[in-house]
């Protein structure tokens, strides 16, 4: 699970976004933090809660707080768009806006859904536009480098990894100046290491910085 912390102007700390079908199946999941509850746990809890609240009040709940978490749910036909974040009055507005985008993008799938398994993989684009692009995101390593990783990692990454381990954190500009490889290729290596969870990334003064823990 990748830990991604959007650094946006209203400083909402988003833990995860889910799209849950009315039968409890998860149709989309995007984690933004290692504190994000698992899709199975969230779907089971919210599905049961929605049934209970609908039975008692006649309506679906839109927001509930549990400990440090805020669960915001917006209906989109037979699906619910769920945002789990730290407590913030901004979360509900963001959930409404994201749900509108979801409905516009998948109107046909929503209207014609008959219970089949659906995955909205390309919803990532909308989530990133609402909660931050790569320039707004900090990603922390979730699979930190250790001895076994160093032994098994592809040899093309080895020089970059060893350099990062010696420095702790370094900017893309700095690491590019230390290696003879093309900057574009180095950037690709570093982004692959981020995807693997071995290396973290953040933005400082408009520049990409990479780090290990």
Based on the structure, what is the number of domains in the chain?
A: 2
* Residue 6: per-residue pLDDT: 40
* Cβ neighbours of residue 11 closer than 8 Å, sequence gap 6 or more: none
* Residue 105: per-residue pLDDT: 94
* Residue 34: per-residue pLDDT: 62
Same domain membership, residue 60 and residue 161: no
Same domain membership, residue 107 and residue 148: no
H helix and E strand count, the chain: 8, 10
Same domain membership, residue 180 and residue 127: no
Same domain membership, residue 181 and residue 114: no
Task: Show the domain range for 201.
Answer: 141-211
Same domain membership, residue 173 and residue 126: no
Same domain membership, residue 52 and residue 35: yes
* CATH number for the domain harbouring residue 72: 3.30.450.70
* Residue 7: per-residue pLDDT: 37
* Residue 106: per-residue pLDDT: 94
Same domain membership, residue 102 and residue 194: no
Q: Roughly how many angstroms between the first and final C-alpha of the chain, as a whole number?
A: 16
CA distance 21 to 188: 36
* Residue 133: per-residue pLDDT: 47
* Residue 47: per-residue pLDDT: 85
Same domain membership, residue 146 and residue 107: no
Q: Residue with structure tokens 């974040």? A: 85
Q: Which residue pairs from 113-117 have beta carbons closer than 8 angstroms and sit at least 24 positions apart in sequence?
A: 113/21, 113/77, 113/78, 113/79, 115/23, 117/25, 117/27
Query: Among 85, 102, 136, where does a domain finish?
Result: 136
**CA distances (Å), 184 to each of 21, 70, 157, 160, 211, in order?**
41, 40, 14, 14, 18
Query: Among 120, 136, 152, where does a domain finish?
Result: 136
Residue 146, class by beta-carbon neighbours within 10 Å (0-12 exposed, 13-18 middle, 19+ buried)?
exposed
Buried b or exposed e, range 108-122, using 16+ CB within 10 angstroms = eeeeebeeeebebee
Rg from Cα positions in the chain: 20
Phi, psi of 59 (to 5 degrees): -130, 165
* Residue 131: per-residue pLDDT: 77
How many residues appear in the chain?
Answer: 213
Within 93-194, strands assigned E span: 137-140, 169-171
Q: pLDDT tens string for the chain (213 positions)?
A: 444 444 333 446 778 899 999 888 999 988 776 677 888 888 998 888 888 888 888 888 788 888 778 899 999 999 999 999 877 667 778 888 999 999 999 999 999 998 888 888 889 889 888 876 444 557 888 888 888 888 888 898 999 999 999 999 999 889 888 887 777 788 889 988 988 889 988 877 667 889 998
Query: Among 97, 121, 136, where does a domain finish?
Result: 136
Does residue 168 come out as left (phi exceeding 0), alpha (psi in the -120 to 50 range) or beta?
left
Same domain membership, residue 152 and residue 111: no
* Residue 20: per-residue pLDDT: 93
């Amino acid at each position: 699970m990748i830990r991604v912390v959007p650094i946006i102007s209203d400083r909402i700390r988003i833990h995860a976004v889910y799209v849950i079908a009315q039968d409890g199946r998860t149709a989309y999941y995007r984690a933004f933090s290692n504190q994000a509850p698992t899709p199975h746990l969230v779907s089971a809890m919210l599905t049961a809660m929605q049934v209970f609240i609908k039975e008692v009040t006649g309506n679906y709940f839109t927001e509930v707080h549990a400990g440090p978490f805020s669960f915001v749910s917006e209906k989109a036909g037979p699906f619910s768009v769920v945002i789990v974040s730290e407590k913030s009055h901004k979360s509900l507005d963001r959930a409404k806006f994201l749900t509108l985008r979801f409905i516009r993008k998948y109107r046909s799938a929503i209207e014609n859904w008959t219970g089949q398994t659906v995955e909205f993989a390309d919803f990532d684009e909308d989530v990133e536009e609402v909660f931050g692009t790569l320039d707004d995101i900090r990603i922390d390593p979730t699979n930190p480098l250790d001895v076994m990783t160093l032994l098994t990692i592809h040899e093309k990454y080895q020089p970059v990894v060893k350099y990062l381990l010696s420095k702790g954190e370094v900017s893309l500009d700095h690491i590019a100046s230390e290696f003879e490889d093309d900057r574009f290729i180095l950037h690709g290596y570093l982004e692959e290491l981020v995807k693997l969870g071995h290396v973290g990334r953040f933005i400082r003064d408009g520049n990409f910085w990479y780090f290990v823990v």
